[in-house]
Amino acid sequence: MTMPSVGILNDGAATPKRMTPWQWVGLAILALIGFFGLVAPLIGGDPLIQDLDHVMIKPCLSSPLGTDHLGRSMFARLGHAARLSLLLAALSVLTAAIPGALLGVAAAWRARWTDTALSTIADGVLALPGLLLIVLLTTFAPGKFWPFYVGLSLALWVEYFRVVRAASQTLLRSSPVEASRLLGFGPAYVVRRHLLPELIPVLRTLMTFGAATSVLSLAALGLVGVGLRPPTPELGTMMIELLPHYQEAPWLIAEPIFVLLLAVTGLALVAGERELR
Amino acid sequence: MGRKDGGQPLTVARIIVRRLVQALLVSLMVSTLSFVMMRALPGDAAMRVAAARYGHDLVTARAADAVRAELKLDRPVASALFAWWGDVLRLDLGTSAVTAAPVVDEVSHQLGYTIRLALAAMGIALLAGPLLGVLCGLWPGSAFDQTWRALAAAIRAVPPFILGLLLIIAFSVEMAALPAAGTMDSTSLVLPAITLAVGLTAGLIRVTRDALKSVTESGYFAFARTKGLSLSEALVRHGLRNAAAPVTAYVGVQLAFLIEGVVAVETLFAWPGIGHALVHAIYARDVPMIQGTVMAMAILFIGLSALADLAILAIDPRRR
């Protein structure tokens, strides 16, 4: 769960506004996984149907990625798992980013005790590593999807809040904003004209970190057995299910690992190489 | 991460107060969630605990009532919640529903294993990372630098639980050289410690390299060399200390990922530490143990973060 530190803001001016070629490569990788997640569940058949006459067959024309130890289609299972991971990432990142960013602007705008209260809450959330919060929530609904969504959203909003707050504090004190205010423009104009253009590249980076955290948390907890449960196709549970069959069919466990690493690499590339290198 | 929010100077008192407030908030959050868990989980919690303790065929209504009184499940919600918080503040975390031993004893036993693993991992990372980073930073652009930077970038994309799987496959299955699970002998520590250490090492290589590069390109370093200090003298007297602040800050930020990594890595390698205990408490729905382990990990994280803050303060007087 190596999420790079968020140090972008200290030199906010240097944040590139245009996408670099490597970021396009990352986006292409993510689009590929997204396409796979959309199409494979549609054409791959049922990921739960077992066929004990054809277990652990090698990739071939009829089953493009082979079948697992219960004869289930790896193509269909990986497709479902990829869709699930990306869905969780998109949902939790959006749910965290929008309120987090709004609260960040609010805290910067109304200093005094709004800021103090919000910052104290944020500090408290920061003190509990996100994975532990998710683990606590999964106890309420073992094997369900929502604890991941709620836990990730609750853990991730703090990053948006802190970064947006820090950036907005600097921006709101800048002379262009002061000029706009003196000219009588309201808060909506200041946010749209002065804050958003500066914040969007930063938010984009944070969202890719958040998406990587989501994907990794789901897989990590699936792997240790407190996440989604078999037979649900999920990358982490698939890995731990297929590990005992490594010696007969090493390509099987390699497939979910490859999908996960590809997704994380894609996200890291989109986040920008400056944090990757 | 330059913690400049608010722009106030850091002081020892301010660091300690901030971390104490965090510890209090986390305890409140975790204990409230655990309290709700105790009451909201399906089934009669008292009966479940009694059954786990005395055996499913021996549990009686009287035993369940005794457990109910012990867990304060017979009291109204508000009074029970305050009593629960009071217990937590007095470090009375109850008894495990599975082993019937006090949670504090269980957790302190497991904490020993976790600390041994964490120390081993930190030891590896803090030796290898900065050393390689310094060598890269001294000669930026060299073949050595480029190789290690590319390697570090690739490794950082591999999360610890995947790395653990790959190491198990390589060293335990293919080579049968190292144990994949348990605490049989000293070699058992090798794979989990390396798994935890590698990501941090890769990050440290990058951060140390960048920090040292900016130091050696600075004016004061050039002056130190010009006035006649050798490279090693200039490094020891001026370079390392200046490079150490960002490196320490990086370690502080990575602590959360280390704690999260502990949960997955300990479970994967069946290392009987606190992360492993948490996962098993969840299997068993052992609420007092869940609360105790999560709280211990959170407090450990906050304590280590405070140490990292204090270390930065000691290294870099400009922040005072």
Question: Is A153 part of a structural domain of the chain?
Answer: yes
Neighbours of B61 (CB within 10 A): 11
Query: What are the tokens at A238?
Result: 């698939």
Confidence label for B129 from pLDDT (cuts 50, 70 and 90) = very high
- A130 CB neighbours in chain B (<8 A) are 256, 260
Nearest chain B CA: its distance from A133 CA (Å): 9
Task: Answer yes or no: do B260 and A261 touch at CB < 8 A.
Answer: no
Give the chain B residue whose CA is nearest to the CA of A266: B157
Band of pLDDT at residue A86, cut at 50, 70 and 90: very high
In sequence order, what DSSP letters do the residues of A164-214 get, joined into one string? HHHHHHHHHTSHHHHHHHHTT--HHHHIIIIIHHHHHHHHHHHHHHHHHHH
Band of pLDDT at residue B274, cut at 50, 70 and 90: very high
- Give mean pLDDT, residues B282-300: 89
Closest CA to A264 of A202, A200, A229, A218: A218
At A20-76, the pLDDT tens digits run 888 899 899 999 999 988 888 888 778 878 888 877 888 887 778 888 888 788 888
Q: Would you state the pLDDT for residue B62?
A: 81
Alpha-carbon distance of B266 to B193, in angstroms, equals 10
> What pLDDT does residue A16 have?
53
pLDDT of residue B240: 84
Q: Does residue A21 belong to any structural domain of this protein?
A: no
Q: Which residues pair with A73 in a beta bridge?
A: A67
Judge whether A72 lies within some domain. Answer: no
Nearest chain A residue to B284 by CA distance is A139
Q: Do B25 and A277 touch (CB under 8 A)?
A: no
Residue A217 makes CB contacts below 8 A (sequence gap 6+) with A1, A130, A131, A134, A148, A151, A152
The verdict on residue A4 lying in a domain is no
Contacts with A200 (C-beta within 8 Å, 6 or more apart), sequence order:
none
For residue B267, which residues of chain A lie inside 8 Å, CB to CB?
224-225
What do you get for the CA distance between the two ends of chain B, in Å? 16
**Residue B239: predicted pLDDT:** 82
pLDDT at B228 over 90: no
Amino acid at A110: R
In this prediction the pTM is 0.85
Q: What size, in residues, is chain B?
A: 320
Where residue B45 falls among pLDDT bands split at 50, 70, 90? confident
Does B263 contact A132 at a Cβ distance shorter than 8 Å? yes
Q: What is the mean pLDDT of residues B224-237?
A: 86
Q: State the pLDDT at residue B2.
A: 40
Interface contact A215, partner B, CB < 8 A: no
Q: What is residue A205's predicted lDDT score, i.e. its pLDDT? A: 86
Model confidence band, residue B5 (pLDDT cutoffs 50, 70, 90): very low
- Domain assignment present for A151: yes
In this complex, is the C-beta atom of A124 within 8 Å of any C-beta atom belonging to chain B? yes
In this predicted model, what pLDDT tens digit does every residue of A87-126 receive, in sequence order? 999 999 999 999 999 999 888 887 778 888 888 888 888 8
Judge contact between A199 and A266, C-beta under 8 A: no
| Chain centroid, CA B151 distance in Å | 24
pLDDT value at residue B6 = 45
The interface predicted TM-score (ipTM) is 0.84
Q: Is the dihedral of CA A231, A235, A239, A242 positive or negative?
A: positive
In a domain, A44, yes or no: no
Interchain pair B149, A277: CB under 8 A = yes
Q: What are phi and psi of B102, to 5 degrees?
A: -60, 135
For residue A211, pLDDT over 90 is answered with yes
Q: How many distinct structural domains can be found in chain A? A: 1
Q: Do B25 and A123 touch (CB under 8 A)?
A: yes
Angle between helical axes of A74-109 and A146-172 (0-180°, round to 10)? 40
Q: Cβ separation of A124 and B250 shorter than 8 Å? A: no
Mutation choice for A interface testing from B4, B148, B151, B161 by most A CBs within 10 A: B161
Chain A residues lying within 8 Å of B268, measured CB to CB: 223-224
Nearest to A129 among B41, B168, B260 (CB): B260
Name chain A contacts of B157, Cβ cutoff 8 Å: 261, 264-265, 268, 276
* pLDDT per position as a tens digit, A125-136: 888 888 999 998
Q: How far apart (Å, rounded) are the C-alpha atoms in residues A15 and A199?
A: 10
Query: Which residues in A lie closer than 8 A to residue B203 (C-beta atoms)?
Result: 2, 4
DSSP state of B8: P
pLDDT higher than 80, residue A277: no
Interface A–B counts its CB contacts (< 8 A) at 150
Is residue B97 within 8 A of residue B53, CB to CB? The reply is yes
CB distance B148 to B201 below 8 Å: no
Range of the domain at A264: 77-271
* Euclidean distance between CA atoms A271 and A167, whole angstroms: 18
Q: Is residue A23 domain-resident?
A: no
At B131-161, the pLDDT tens digits run: 999 999 888 888 999 999 888 888 888 888 9
**Residue A8 located in a structural domain:** no
Look up the CATH number of the domain holding residue A217: 1.10.3720.10
Q: Averaged over B193-212, what is the pLDDT? A: 91
